[in-house]
Structure 1
Amino acid sequence: MPDLSYTAIPDPVAFEERLKSVPLAPGVYIWKDIQGKILYVGKSKSLRDRMRSYFGAPRGLSGKTRRLVAQIADFEIIVTSSELEALLLEMNLIKEHRPKFNVLLKDDKSYPFIKVTLHEPWPRILVTRKTPDDGSRYFGPYSNAGAVRRTLKELNKLFAFRPSFDCKDEKFNRHRRLGKPCMYYDIKRCLGPCVPGLVSQEEYRSAIEAVCRFLEGKTDQIVRDLRRKMEAAAQELNFERAAYLRDQIRDIEKISERQQVLRTVATDQDVIAFARENGSAVVQVFYIRGGKLIGSEPFALQNTEDEDDQRLLTSFITQFYDSAAEVPPNLLLAEHIEEPMIIEQWLSQKGGHRVEIQVPRRGEKKNLVNLAAQNARQKLEEIRLQWLNSEQRAVAGLTEIRDLLGLEGLPARIECFDISNTQGTNAVGAMVVFEHGEPKKSRYRKFRIRTVEGANDVASIREVLLRRFRRAAEALGEDVAAGVQDPRVNPNGVVTNG
């Protein structure tokens, strides 16, 4: 019989009856708290068995699972016709709700992609954070938006497509009306598609396709095509064009030389390994295309405490490839994952070709996995040092405040208040919160001024402070659970402007 004594379930008897009625079928289960907020989304080939396993002896559960179970008050199930359908549903629900107990890709909603607008007459190449099915081609996700923009600038130097940073449709159409290209044409950073006659649509699209092949790692094919065009231009005595293509070939070959060539890895594949320490985890992905290591990206995970390696890696793969623009035919992993056959089936459907998952134990493939793990450890150490530096700066600032104000200890919580109005109307107050020297954005609040007429900042501040501390004093337990200010965390300092 399940032990429900340490949960937040309001009616354990009714809850137990509901658990008994859960079918022994594949599907998705959703744990919720007393407010109805989703705590965790999971899947299983046997819903009843999996859900009842949460309510065994507490000492047999991990710390993270005990904290989850202590907050469970309700659940919802969705029965599916297959384990694959359950996997897809689980991924969609996690992406939509981002439950606090699920392993999550950190900031996964904001990872950048490279977008090639192939459906447009004169395609553009942009950085985007959304991937709608609009006829464009996408590459990514990438972990660093700045690096993606720098890559686009380098690609623009090589292939002279419309500069994404300075050629919006309005400017493009203006130069088309003028019949004169902008300066990027003069400095050979754009082929000039805005002016009829400067470049044919076929030639411009050929440059765009070369960019796509470059991003796929097919530089050898690009060089062959460019060399053929260079020889044709020379035969036509178009030496300026031939010289331009010669320089383009040279620059591409320089970049290609920097890419590591892997002797025994002929197929396209991603190499995935991870490092973890004290609840933090980083996954490193190597992109191998055409036998060359063409890129590497680190991705941080959150909510990884007490999760085993299989669950951690499975969560990453399902979330990463759910949004990835491309799935290669092979994945090399550092560890085995849960339900690999189901994951392979899903990846094969998504990629449109057979996908095989391997966990190499020796040889060059194993060396690649080890190298990816080494890079993950290095990135994890960088994150740790960044956190330490940030913490040290915060402590230094709090120490200075303590000394200036003669406080007994460091101020753990500081609240800052200010008032804004539009010529004496529509007055609004704002509260910004710092905890342990760091901004706590989830605690920020806005106050619509109710009792003050005109531009009177002092009276408005008084109203805001009264409302803030009155609400804290009146807060009940359910208010605290819902995120209302807890009277036990009153500020050590209040800063007002006005």
Structure 2
Amino acid sequence: MADPASYRPAPGEIPTVPGVYRFRDEFGRVVYVGKAKNLRNRLNSYFQNVHALAPKVYAMVHTAASVEWTVVGSELESLQLEYTWIKEYKPRFNIAFRDDKSYPYLAVTLKDRFPRAQVMRGEKKKGVRYFGPFSQAWAIRETLDALLRVFPVRTCSAGVFNRAERSGRPCLLGYIDKCSAPCVGNISQQDHLKLAEDLCRFMGGGAEKFIANLTQQMKQAAADFDFEKAAVLRDDIEALQKAFERNAVVLADSVDADLFAFASDELETAVQVFYVRGGRIRGQRGWIVEKVEETSDAALVEQLIMQVYGEIAVNSTGDLAELEQTQHDIPRQIVVPTLPDNREKLEEWLSSIRGAKTHIMVSQRGDKHALLQTVAENAQQSLTLHKSRRAGDITTRSTSLVELQDALEIADPLLRIECYDISHVQGTNVVASMVVFEDGLPKKSDYRKFSITGDAARDDTASMYDVIHRRFSRYLADQKQRRQNPLTSGEISAEEAAEKETAKFAYPPNLVLVDGGPPQVAAAQRALDDLGISDIFVAGIAKRLEELWLPSDDFPVILPRSSQALFLVQRVRDEAHRFAITFHRTKRGKAMVKSALDGVAGLGPAKREALIKHFGSLKVLASASEEELQEVPGVGPAMAAKIVEHFAVQKDPTAGEDSLASEESVGLS
């Protein structure tokens, strides 16, 4: 850590006008951007009594190694420049705002004395029935507004309800008959609860029953010449049908099914279920399950069914109303990705609870299979979102970094972690990736990819040595240049500030992670030793048990499966692997296509690239006719005939990878 006194500017050097200032660390990275009406007063406040500073500010001034400022003409200009620099540099000590919205649901708080219907987001609560999700909150409000004609349940907040209860006057909804006004005793607690339960049954799949019942009442009222009542019932039926039609019809009307799917990694599984009643999606639910042991898909499905429907079995009382609700909660069909080993016993158990036959099945084709693919996609998105939220939570990130630092016995905080992975197919097209995590978050602008050739491509250890040596040779060269032009505190113009930025590739990490075991770790450590670098820690990640191997250690470091550090290590390794595989596929695809066209006489690089861009895949190109080939700019009849003849004499033109690689940048978007 730097001493703030070592880079404190002289008080007389700092102007007393508005401006924007930047703190930089020893490697030139901007760690904090701020603005001030009076630069002298603001900057002096960072140095006068550092021990009285807030913890975050204290850490910032000790991380920084210099401070520089830019004078502006007004406070408005300082606001604009501060915003521009924060967006550009993303300083680690500036506050970052992230949107944390979730899908809205229609929720009915059955746990309350007088249940309330409302829009809810976020974590689900016990004693609340949820319906949805809806794409927009206004869709819930429109649906609920239509339903309140028939089910006038309370929708007001606790404050509004209590005020009405004290004053003895209902709110506007009570006067226009869109609320039964339990606050003033217009309806009993039991009757209001029944209204809320009827609303839940309607939203949960009992719409046809309510609509049919009201239709019968309307006809009877008309037959009795009670046309006023019939008109009210007609309007109620229209309101219910309007709300009912908002639910997407995905299957036949007779289909009642729960469709389960899940997405897993080594540590966690995300489960999603769609509830289909009467052919319509009535609700959705998701779970994140921590994998504490190796579990097969069949065993996971068994545990899932037991836990989801076990609560219904425990709470079942056997009376008629409870049986009706149970038949709604347990459908005729349960569609799962894999059949459990004891399928027959589970079906017997579920059927005994439901009072009717329940089937557990795997859908191979048709509409259910298509919908199951959507459920599986939701599960994958849920797992990705869970991991990103875990990474986005600053408390969790801090815990994971501290746990990893303690486990590896590293003295300095892990502000920057770099991870390296090698990718190839039987020693061909060898590539490597470098991904960067700062403060526990990926910094994609610092990602790098390497092509490895010659002796360095003979095996993984040689490749790892080559990559580490190349990367840190560049770092040493930039450090030498930095020593020749040391950082100084003082005033600079905005133009000079833009020119002063250093190469991000040169920043050194606190920890180097390599994908592999002791051989790869030894190769990386040897590369650092040969360069004379001794202040960078090296560790390797073994894939099978997520072990961490250290140089010269006979036994690995085993992180607890529930530790935040393990989730961080896994995420860093997976990102390095993804980036390497993407680059490797791009390189291999280009090489395969170009080699497939090498035998065509007179076909130059420009026409070859034009063919690749036009047809998109080797299979399509190989089966193209002469007329189709001539659609490519620069390919005439003679060249088209040569290409057709070239592929005709090849025994298997589509062997290997089918898709051509994209020309776009890999992984940096």
Q: TM-score with structure 1 length normalisation?
A: 0.44
Q: TM-score with structure 2 length normalisation?
A: 0.34
